[in-house]
Chain A
Amino acid sequence: MLKDITLGQYFPIDSFLHRLDPRTKILIFILDIVAIFMAQTVESYVVLILFTFLVMLISKVPVKMYFKGLKPILYIIVFTALLNLFLTQGEDLPIFGYSVGITVEGAIVAAKMATRLVLLIIGSSALTYTTSPMALTDGIEKLLKPLSKIGFPTHELAMMMSIAIKFIPTLIEETDKIIKAQQARGASFDTGSIFKRAKALIPMLVPLFISAFRRADELAIAMESRCYTGGDGRTRLKEIKFTHKDLAATICFLMFFACVIFLDFIF
Chain B
Amino acid sequence: MAIKIENLDYVYMQGSPFEKKALDNINIEIKDGEFVGLIGHTGSGKSTLVQHLNGLLKPHSGHVFINEHETTEKGEKLKKLRCDVGLVFQYPEHQLFEETVYKDIAYGPTNLGLPKEEIDIRVRDAARCVGLPPEVLDKSPFDLSGGQKRRVAIAGVIAMKPSVLVLDEPTAGLDPAGREEILSQIKSIYDEGNMTVILVSHSMEDVARLVNRLIVMNEGKVFADGTVDEVFSRGRELRNIGLNVPQVNVLIDELVARGLNINPNIYTVENAKNELIEYFKRIKEGGENA
Contact = CB atoms under 8 A, between A and B. Distances in A.
Given A203-B97, A206-B97, A211-B94, A184 B79 contact: no
B115 interface: no
Interface string B157-187: 1001000000000000000000000000000
B142 A185 contact: no
A186 B160 contact: yes
B220 interface: no
Contacts of A216: none
A210 B87 CA distance: 22
Interface residues of B, number: 26
Interface in A160-203: 174, 177-178, 180-188, 202-203
B160 A188 contact: no
Given A186-B111, A186-B112, A181 B95 contact: yes
Given A207-B95, A207-B97, A211-B94, A185 B111 contact: yes
A186 B108 contact: yes
Given A186-B79, A186-B112, A202 B17 contact: no
Given A12-B17, A203-B107, A186 B83 contact: yes
B13 interface: yes
Interface in B18-59: 51, 54, 56
A183 B94 CA distance: 14
B82 A186 contact: yes
B89 interface: yes
B289 interface: no
B108 A185 contact: yes
A51 interface: no
Given A184-B157, A185-B111, A202 B79 contact: no
Given A177-B89, A180-B89, A203-B107, A185 B97 contact: no
B112 A181 contact: no
Interface in B78-133: 79, 82-83, 86-87, 89, 92, 94-97, 107-108, 111-112
B107 A185 contact: yes
Contacts of A183: 56, 82
Nearest to B113: A186
B54 A184 contact: yes
A3 interface: yes
Nearest to B85: A184
A13 B17 CA distance: 9
- Interface of A, secondary structure class, is helix
Contacts, number: 60
A99 to B, nearest CB: 47
A48 B83 CA distance: 58
A150 B164 CA distance: 64
B156 interface: yes
A180 B56 contact: yes
B99 to A, nearest CB: 10
Given A13-B17, A183-B82, A184-B54, A178 B160 contact: no
A6 B108 CA distance: 32
Contacts of A29: none
Given A186-B160, A206-B97, A211-B94, A180 B51 contact: yes
B79 A185 contact: no
A28 to B, nearest CB: 24
B274 interface: no
A228 B128 CA distance: 47
B240 interface: no
Nearest to B107: A185
A207 B91 CA distance: 12
A180 B95 CA distance: 10
B79 A188 contact: yes
Contact of B96 (A13, A202, A207): A207
A207 to B, nearest CB: 5
A125 B211 CA distance: 52
A187 B56 CA distance: 12
B16 interface: yes
Interface string A14-36: 00000000000000000000000
A174 B92 CA distance: 12
B97 A184 contact: no
A184 B89 contact: yes
A182 B95 contact: yes
Nearest to A11: B17
Contacts of B160: 185-186
Given A178-B95, A181-B92, A185-B156, 4 more contacts: A6-B16, A185-B107, A187-B111, A207-B97
5 contacts: A182-B107, A185-B111, A186-B82, A186-B111, A210-B142
